[in-house]
Amino acid sequence: MSLVIKGGTVVDETGTRTADVRIEDGTIVAVGESLTGDTTLDATGCIVSSGFVDLHTHLRQPGREEAETIETGSRAAALGGFTAVVAMPNTEPAIDSAGVVREVLDWGAKALCDVRPAGAITKGRAGKELAPLGEMADLGVRLFTDDGAGVQDSRLMRRALEYASALGVTLAQHCEDEGLASGGHMHEGEWSSRLGIPGIPAEAEELMVARDIALSRLTGAPVHFLHMSTARSIELIRAAKAEGLPVTAEAAPHHFTLTHAAIAGYDPVFKVNPPLRSDADVEAVRTGLADGTIDAIATDHAPHAQELKEAAFDEAPPGMLGLETCFALALQLGVPIERVLALLSWNPARIAGLTAEHGGPIAEGRPANLTVLDLAHAWTVEPERLASRSRNTPYAGWALQGRARHTVFRGEPVVVDMEATR
């Protein structure tokens, strides 16, 4: 059985060309003109790209299945053009041992995209003792983080980086100094003062960015910075890269499209960690994404059950959906499409250690993990129509442009004409 993606413009790191793509048994067997096959996916007027890789998704399983499951999250991912997601380990129980890794891999085996668990850096994400990084790495885990919290103890973080460097894995940090951040629920500044909500100063993030850059220098180990949100964080990373340190960074769409002014109505849908920041910070994130300081866009897709987001602002959990709106928002950056695809696919595939299967190039012999993108498609965000089990998107009612039309995962068309096939 063969599948042909017909009439599209193929874009990968080697260049751009009009070509059809023929797929058999999960592999690309031909890229060229006038190809035929048993099934056809029409790609007229569309870009054919390697599937997106999300470095930062919360799939909530095990523990919070009412908000999302690996299946429903993977469906949302596929609809968003993703063929791989890194599943964050702040589940219940945390992904801090081979046992839980195996469970997640098992559930992920039937998913609509590649589900790659990230492991916790510390046991239970408690920040006190190293988790068994080696036994998790043996199962293929390549990224480790205590996301949801940062590792507060500098000595422990140093040891973790040293230990990890022998395993060929990358530690990723949720940069948040608890001393400065504690008690805060939104960005500390003009809006938090006006609204009377305790604030989280930008420095709570920047302190840990600076510390981990120093630790990367000390240990020689790579560090990936999750959800960068402040102008000074980005300056620190720019300088670290200029120095040649092995650091990478990601930013989430909400940090380059929304500011703290959105909290004026006290709707907890806009509550997120790190919080929505100022105009200057948003501008710096956009610049960082354009100039290469920030390597990837990662959604930080964080589903929450409706009743949890219908609580008082202070009491609601932070987090927003992101998988299905990501691509359209990325297009709003106004950078060339090659840069958008680098941010969504080629770079995150490298950071996640998935280049064998994801992130291109689109060539004969490569695994068929692709997405067909309609850059012109106009649509409105309706929370009830999203594939996620939850509804907490800050973009409800937004008119967006750009959407994945088809997504092919290991040769299987999991999304056809913007609908999931299963």
Partner 1 sequence: MASHLLSVADLGADGLHELLDLTDSMIEVAERRIPKVPVLRGKTVVSLFYEDSTRTRLSFETAAKRLSADTMNFSVSTSSVKKGESLRDTVITIEAMGVDAIVVRHGSAGVPWQIADWVDASVINAGDGWHEHPTQALLDCYTIREKLGSLQDRHIAIVGDIKHSRVARSDVLAFTLLGAHVTLVAPPTLLPPSLEGWPVAVSHDLDSVLKTVDVVYLLRMQKERQTEALLPSLREYTALYGLTRERARLLGDDTLVMHPGPMNRGVEIAAEVADLPRSVITRQVANGVAVRSAVLFKLLGSEPTS
**Identity of the residue, 264 or 378, whose beta carbon is nearer to partner 1 in the bound complex:** 264
DSSP secondary structure code for residue 344 in this structure? I
CA–CA dist 240, 217 (Å, integer): 9
CB of 188 to partner 1, least distance (A): 5
Among positions 144-183, residues that touch partner 1 (CB under 8 A) are none
Tell me which of 57, 170, 192, 392 binds partner 1, using CB under 8 A. Answer: 192
Residue 203 engages partner 1 in binding (rule: CB under 8 A): no
Beta bridge partners, 81, equal: none
Tokens matching residue 267 = 């709707």
Q: Is 114 among the residues known to form the active site?
A: no
Tokens matching residue 130 = 């190293």
Helix, strand, or coil here: 145?
A: coil
Tell me which of 18, 36, 193, 380 binds partner 1, using CB under 8 A. Answer: 193
CA–CA dist 78, 11 (Å, integer): 19
**Identity of the residue, 8 or 394, whose beta carbon is nearer to partner 1 in the bound complex:** 394
C-alpha pair distances (Å), 180 with each of 177, 183, 208, 231? 6, 9, 11, 18
Residue 279 engages partner 1 in binding (rule: CB under 8 A): no
Residue 25 engages partner 1 in binding (rule: CB under 8 A): no
Tell me which of 315, 364, 382, 417 binds partner 1, using CB under 8 A. Answer: 315
Tell me which of 15, 196, 334, 397 binds partner 1, using CB under 8 A. Answer: 196
Tokens matching residue 386 = 């999203």
Nearest CA to 174 out of 211, 207, 214, 147 is that of 147
CB of 119 to partner 1, least distance (A): 33
# residues near partner 1 by CB under 8 A = 22
Residue pair 172/157 in contact (Cβ under 8 Å)? The answer is no
Exposure class string for 245-274: b at 16+ Cβ within 10 A, else e: bbbbbbbbbbbbbbbbebbeeebbbbbbbb
Residue 65 engages partner 1 in binding (rule: CB under 8 A): no
Residues 6+ away with beta carbon under 8 Å from 124: 93, 94, 96
CB of 217 to partner 1, least distance (A): 32
CA–CA dist 14, 250 (Å, integer): 23
Residue pair 369/356 in contact (Cβ under 8 Å)? The answer is no
CB of 64 to partner 1, least distance (A): 16
Q: Which of 12, 114, 177, 300 is catalytic?
A: 300
Strand 223-225: give its sheet, edge to edge. Answer: 143-144, 170-173, 223-225, 247-251, 296-297
Residue 412 engages partner 1 in binding (rule: CB under 8 A): no
**Identity of the residue, 58 or 185, whose beta carbon is nearer to partner 1 in the bound complex:** 185
Tell me which of 119, 127, 150, 199 binds partner 1, using CB under 8 A. Answer: 199
Among positions 280-309, residues that touch partner 1 (CB under 8 A) are 307
CB of 268 to partner 1, least distance (A): 8
CB of 282 to partner 1, least distance (A): 17
**Identity of the residue, 74 or 273, whose beta carbon is nearer to partner 1 in the bound complex:** 273
382: phi then psi, degrees, rounded to nearest 5: -115, 110
**Identity of the residue, 15 or 265, whose beta carbon is nearer to partner 1 in the bound complex:** 265
H helices within 230-383, ranges in order?
231-242, 254-257, 279-291, 326-331, 337-341, 347-351
CB of 126 to partner 1, least distance (A): 24
**Identity of the residue, 245 or 305, whose beta carbon is nearer to partner 1 in the bound complex:** 305
Residue pair 403/377 in contact (Cβ under 8 Å)? The answer is yes
Stretch that binds partner 1, among 75-83, 116-124, 185-193, 403-411 (CB under 8 A): 185-193
Tokens matching residue 358 = 């994801």
Place of tokens 């240990």: 219
Among positions 247-266, residues that touch partner 1 (CB under 8 A) are 265-266
Stretch that binds partner 1, among 193-201, 319-327, 342-350, 382-390 (CB under 8 A): 193-201
Tell me which of 26, 93, 134, 201 binds partner 1, using CB under 8 A. Answer: 201
Residues with a catalytic annotation lie at 300
Binding residues vs partner 1 (CB under 8 A): 188-190, 192-199, 201, 265-267, 307, 310-315
